[in-house]
Amino acid sequence: MGEDGRAVSAATPGRIGEVLGMPPVPQGTWEAEALYVSPAALRRGVPPEELAGRLRALGGVAAVRVRANGFLEIAVSVPGELVEEIGLSRGAGAAERDAGGEDAARPGGRAEDAVDPTGPGGEARRAPWADSPWTWDNPGFVVGYAHARAVAVQRWAAELGVGGRFRPELLEDGLDRAVLRLLAELPGRRASRDPGWAAYAEHLALAYHDAFERAPALPSGDEEPSALHVARVRLARAVRDVLAEAMGALGLEAPARL
């Protein structure tokens, strides 16, 4: 199901993963082609062409190619569709935190009331970033600020009347695709024993800052809200949720404002 409760029938990582039996791995920049790669046929002992045929039957799969080594390459037509299956359970206090004031948590602040501060085996988790300085040289600031920006986009979109049907095919700009490429890693990282949440959050945050500044989600001046704005607001919501999940996995509070 999508974030808004609608069934997702597109070629999303979740749907592709159901066919493969494991999350697909995004590959390349996605600037020209949104591509996943998978060794699922080899690992499951299934003929690659048989699995490729099942994948081709999915709506939204543009092509499936079998490499000489048996790996599958899966190209999808509308990469923006993956946004619809990102809808995390954000907790009862998430809306209040998103609407929080100047006392919202610091980017590296602990989330002791919301997140179990111990990792596997009961080992204490340490914040991967320093609390200060609040500069672009500090990855903790970069990640926290990206989350705060994504939260702010939701507030501002409501105030500006940005709304309507989500059209994922409009997320075709290279900056949007760079964000989508990183969001596509989420299922694989969730399934990994070593997800690398800190580095992942940093990369996603940097890509989102570029998109926020150069591919605006909100109208400016006398500009009317458009379907592209709606799509980018939904993309920002997905970034918000994924950064909150990554920071939560690290035992950190995701700030709503800075």
| Residue 176 to residue 31: CA distance in whole angstroms | 9
For residue 121, is pLDDT > 70? no
* Beta strand segments in the chain, E: 25-27, 34-38, 61-66, 72-76
Q: Residue 36 forms beta bridges with which residues? A: 26, 74
Q: Are strands 72-76 and 34-38 parallel, antiparallel or unpaired?
A: antiparallel
Q: How confident is the model at residue 7 (pLDDT cuts 50, 70, 90)?
A: very low
Q: Report the 10 Å Cβ neighbour count for 191.
A: 11
Res. 119 pLDDT band, cuts 50 70 90: very low
Distance CA 202, CA 185 (A): 13
Of 189, 232, 173, 211, residue with least CA distance to 26: 189
Average pLDDT, the chain: 86
Least confident segment among 16-20, 100-104, 164-168: 100-104
How many angstroms separate the CA atoms of 26 and 75, rounded?
10
CATH class label, 86-249: mainly alpha
Instruction: State the distance between the two ends of the chain, measured CA to CA, in whole angstroms.
Output: 33
Q: How would residue 43 be classed by pLDDT, with cut points 50, 70 and 90?
A: very high
What is the reported pTM?
Answer: 0.85
Full 3-state SS string of 16-38: HHHHHCCCCEEECCCCCCEEEEE
Mean pLDDT of 43-55: 97
Give pLDDT, residue 127: 73
